[in-house]
């Protein structure tokens, strides 16, 4: 059961309360925030509810590793290092990234790591509208190539 990488790409202030609460529980409070969640029925329901505000796709170990190293932050806004991950979890970063990508480990299992990654807007901009779903020629919803977008935003 792989995990999902979620990225909020719409930041509308007048969002319905239930959608705003779901985005808050997913730690996607602001535009261009990203998180990684396991593929469970509960998270699928939450993703379905907020699909008009986010884009998401399968997590790969390479992208998870890049996110943790480049955009991961500890409490106190300190950067994350491979030594810190090894000290806290007892595992090297490659193993941790693989476990998070496959959904057997959560971000909160790494003590002190904030569960959100603050990304830049994509370099070169979005190719299509952020108001439409992928199937309608936009950017929202499920995409297999989430890694390309994440790399543009790091």
Q: Dump pLDDT digits (tens) for 71-89.
A: 999 999 999 999 999 999 9
The answer, yes or no, to whether residue 128 has pLDDT greater than 90, is no
Check whether residue 55 and residue 71 sit in a common domain: no
Check whether residue 20 and residue 50 sit in a common domain: yes
Check whether residue 37 and residue 108 sit in a common domain: no
Q: What is the pTM of this model?
A: 0.89
* Cα separation, 93 vs 147, whole angstroms: 18
Check whether residue 91 and residue 109 sit in a common domain: yes
| CA 23 and chain centroid, separation | 12
Check whether residue 148 and residue 77 sit in a common domain: no
**Region 113-127: what's the mean pLDDT?**
91
pLDDT for res 33: 95
Contacts of 96 (CB under 8 A, 6+ apart): 68, 85, 89, 105, 110
Where does the pLDDT of residue 130 fall: very low under 50, low under 70, confident under 90, or very high at 90 and above?
Answer: confident
| CA 83 and chain centroid, separation | 23
Where does the pLDDT of residue 1 fall: very low under 50, low under 70, confident under 90, or very high at 90 and above?
Answer: low
Check whether residue 55 and residue 65 sit in a common domain: no
Range of the domain at 52: 4-59+118-153
Check whether residue 31 and residue 46 sit in a common domain: yes
Listed residue (147, 144, 154, 149) closest to 128, CA to CA? 149
**Region 46-53: what's the mean pLDDT?**
94
């Amino acid at each position: 059961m792989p995990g999902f990488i979620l990225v909020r790409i719409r930041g509308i202030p007048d969002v319905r309360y239930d959608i705003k609460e779901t985005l808050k529980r997913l730690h996607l409070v602001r535009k261009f925030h990203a998180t990684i969640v396991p593929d469970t029925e509960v998270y699928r329901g939450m993703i379905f509810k907020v699909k008009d505000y986010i884009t998401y796709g399968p997590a790969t170990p390479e992208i998870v590793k890049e996110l943790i190293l480049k955009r991961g932050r500890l409490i106190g806004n300190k950067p994350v290092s491979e030594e810190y991950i090894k000290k806290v979890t007892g595992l090297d970063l490659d193993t941790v990234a693989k476990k998070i990508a496959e959904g057997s480990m959560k971000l909160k299992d790494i003590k002190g790591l904030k569960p959100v990654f603050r990304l830049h807007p994509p370099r070169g901009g979005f190719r299509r509208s952020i108001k439409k779903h992928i199937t309608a020629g936009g950017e929202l919803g499920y995409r297999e190539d989430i890694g390309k977008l994440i790399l543009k935003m790091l």
